[in-house]
Amino acid sequence: MTPALAGPNVRIQCTATGEELRLPALALPHELRKLICPLCGASAKVVERRVASGDKLLVDRATFQFRSPHRFEPVVVRRLNDDGKLETVVKRIVGLPGESVQIKQGDVFIDGRRYAKSLHELKRLARPIVDFQHLALAQSNGREPHASDSAWHWPGASSWDDNRQSFVIDGGQFGFSLGDVLNERAMPDDGEFKDQPLASIAESWNQLFTVRADQTAPIHDLLLTIDELRVALDARNQEVAPSLNLQLGNGRDTLALTIWPGTRKWLAERNGAELGSGQVFETVDLAAGAQFDLAIVDGTLQASFGGQELFRFDSETDRGTPPAGESFFGLTAKADGCRVELAGLRILADLAYSAPSGLGPRAGLDEAFQLGENEYFVLGDNTAISDDSRFWRKPAVSAAQIIGRPLLVHWPAERAESWEGWIQVPSPDKIRYIR
């Protein structure tokens, strides 16, 4: 995931891990709402009440002299705002010249069809819901994986390895409901979000004001990513064919993948109906471990192993209907006759674009917006509050208004005390390239 660019912001600190995070803030409210860490759900506190200036960028002005911007690529736009003042903003390309663009149900529709992201594109946009590398450090409120009252449930055959920061499943299973986790995290004492959908709760983690339900979109596109998935055969087991079963549910569809490490065969199912089968690539060493991804995104079901695409199916046309009643929203992993290790496990939600109500311009929301030659439709990643093509009086951005692409954050918003108060200073360890 590309780290978000920080505009004016305040620093908060997770009380469980001590890790600092930045929240967008044009002004810090006098009365703060309950703040929580978006990565583990523990409470958070403001480190400094002053609002810090945003990140400073180096802009690559050369690349677009040789090629056109790509979809979902961040760009630097110079435009006249609705007050007639010149401003420079960073947005992400969504619509390309000649296309019609519409935002529906949080997704982007191009020329009337839902645009289905690749795993590569999804990783550039998705934001973490659960990050076990962070979660493992948490020591409060029962949210660490090995706490008896944790929201993460698994039988005794599964365990947490503190040294390797991974789950070990030895003939058992582990799993959790994302609905339970999100509700557990984001229910302030005053019940502010009692009747709001999970999407509203999730968006509100990173805002210092209340986000309305219409400013959010449902969470239905999920990415499970594991830095190293290792599978070792159990020599003691001679009765059953060793297997690993992973199930990812988004509340509507459940994508199940079964791998038999002995034969390297795999089987993919959607809501209990077979989608397809095949062989795990010979280049993937199951015992040594490899990067693994499983996703339900934009009407597709996708998986990759060792950086190679395992499968990609269209969930809107392939077999398998959602079960009646309440469906699964979360993850389960079950090992039978083998030992499985999940290191660097994260679940991320795709960026879902919202359609807030209002009387102003609503380009691409109520109906498709048609782009002309050399025109682009751009959106911001902080969809709940972003000012972008959806709301500009002139929604389309011309190629001439795109002055380049953000290349490098060279002056992150850090502060140091001085005899005159505080000053901004560079932070070399936080300098980063923008993808």
> Looking at residues 200-227, what average pLDDT do you find?
64
Give me the numbers of helices (H) and strands (E) for the chain, helices first please: 4, 30
> Looking at residues 420-425, what average pLDDT do you find?
62
Looking at residue 6, the DSSP 8-state letter turns out to be P
Largest CA distance in the chain: 75
Go through the domains of the chain in sequence order and give each one's CATH number.
9-54+410-433 (no CATH), 59-105+366-408 (2.10.109.10), 125-185+220-349 (2.60.120.200)
pLDDT of amino acid 197: 38
| Nearest CA-CA partner of 215 in 34, 380, 328, 95 | 380
Query: 310 φ, ψ to 5°?
Result: -85, -45
Q: Considering only 39-48, 171-180, 307-316, which range has the smallest mean pLDDT? A: 39-48
pLDDT of amino acid 178: 75
> Looking at residues 298-322, what average pLDDT do you find?
81
Count CB atoms within 10 A of the CB of residue 32.
13
Q: How confident is the model at residue 151 (pLDDT cuts 50, 70, 90)?
A: very low
Looking at per-residue pLDDT, the higher value among 183 and 84 belongs to 84
Count CB atoms within 10 A of the CB of residue 435.
13
pLDDT of amino acid 124: 86
Count CB atoms within 10 A of the CB of residue 266.
20
DSSP string, 249-312: EESS-EEEEEEETTTTEEEEEETTEEEEEEE--TT--TTT-EEEEEEEETTEEEEEETTEEEEE
Cα 64 to the chain's mean position, in Å?
28
Q: Taking a C-beta distance cutoff of 8 angstroms, is the pair 229, 289 a contact?
A: yes
Residue type, 239: E
How many Å apart are CA 91 and CA 5, to the nearest integer?
10
pLDDT of amino acid 154: 47
Structural tokens at position 169: 């499943």
Query: 218 φ, ψ to 5°?
Result: -60, 145
pTM for the model: 0.81
Angle at 76 between CA 74 and CA 81, to 5 degrees: 120
Tell me the torsion sign for CA atoms 200, 198, 221, 307.
positive
Angle at 180 between CA 168 and CA 333, to 5 degrees: 25
Q: Which residues pair with 140 in a beta bridge?
A: none
- Whether the predicted pLDDT of 322 surpasses 50: yes
| Nearest CA-CA partner of 226 in 211, 248, 252, 196 | 248
Q: Cα separations (Å) of 334 from 135, 150, 155, 289, 304?
A: 21, 19, 10, 17, 19
Sheet holding 273-279, edge to edge: 173-177, 329-336, 243-250, 254-260, 265-270, 273-279
| Nearest CA-CA partner of 168 in 138, 145, 141, 142 | 145
- Whether the predicted pLDDT of 361 surpasses 60: yes
| 3-class DSSP state of 328 | coil
Q: Taking a C-beta distance cutoff of 8 angstroms, is the pair 340, 287 a contact?
A: no
pLDDT of amino acid 423: 61
pLDDT in tens, 65-117: 999 999 999 999 999 988 889 999 999 999 999 999 999 888 999 999 999 99
Q: How confident is the model at residue 292 (pLDDT cuts 50, 70, 90)?
A: very high
Q: Considering only 2-11, 56-65, 250-259, 313-322, which range has the smallest mean pLDDT? A: 313-322
How many Å apart are CA 44 and CA 16, to the nearest integer?
8
Q: How confident is the model at residue 39 (pLDDT cuts 50, 70, 90)?
A: low
pLDDT of amino acid 410: 60
How many Å apart are CA 290 and CA 288, to the nearest integer?
7
- Whether the predicted pLDDT of 214 surpasses 50: yes
pLDDT of amino acid 222: 92
